[in-house]
Structure 1
Amino acid sequence: MDYETKMKSRIKRMEGQLRGILRMMEEGQDCKDVITQLSAVRSGVDRTIGVIVSENLVRCVNEGNGDQSIMNQSIQEAVNLLVQSR
């Protein structure tokens, strides 16, 4: 799968957030602020997973060329990936 620049930018943004969270922890900042930032990272990860799975699903269904069994298998794999990510 080819990952778009936007997708990579999402990951880099989360990486920066995690570094910021670590710095907050090292500075002894309030736990509410740390949790708020961790929740933001988790939401970002969840959204990124959704985008990757949906783009992959669209690609797989298009490659199925109308073959119902291939499309059903692709859908099931996408659902399994989403369930597994939780």
Structure 2
Amino acid sequence: MTADDEAAARAVLNRLRRAQGQLAGVIAMVEEGRDCRDVVTQLAAVSRALDRAGFKIIASRMRECMTAREDGGEPKLSEEQLEKLFLTLA
């Protein structure tokens, strides 16, 4: 793994850990019976954090997915597969 790959992995893990903390906060808010507007606002923040983590994974691995070859010489992911994967986050 290159230094760039390691940095990207750390960034993704940081985003996921932040989202995990935010989700724990949302759960606590629901358990406490907090105002629905506050809960939904925090839940939206968790969703955005997860989306950003997913986009970071795709962006940092896109080149590898398009150029790395399977045993048969085909790319690991076709352009269409990569587009579909990207759109699952949209």
Same fold (TM > 0.5): yes
Q: TM-score range by the shorter chain?
A: 0.7 to 0.9
Aligned to 2:45: 40
Tell me how many residue pairs correspond in the alignment: 81
Which of 12, 26, 40 aligns to 1:7? It is 12
Higher helix share: 1
CA contact (8 A) 1:54 1:78 kept: no
TM-score (structure 2 length as normaliser): 0.73
Query: Alpha-carbon deviation of 1:63?
Result: 4.0
* Counterpart-to-counterpart distance in 2, 1:51 and 1:78: 14
CA deviation map 1:41-61 (0-9, x unaligned): 111111111111121212234
Structure 2 SS opposite 1:80: helix
> Could you say what the CA RMSD is over the residues aligned between the two structures, in angstroms?
2.6
- Kindly report structure 1 stretches of 4+ aligned residues shifted beyond 3 Å: 61-64
What is the aligned-residue identity percentage?
32
TM-score (structure 1 length as normaliser): 0.76
Give the unaligned 5+ runs of structure 2. Answer: none
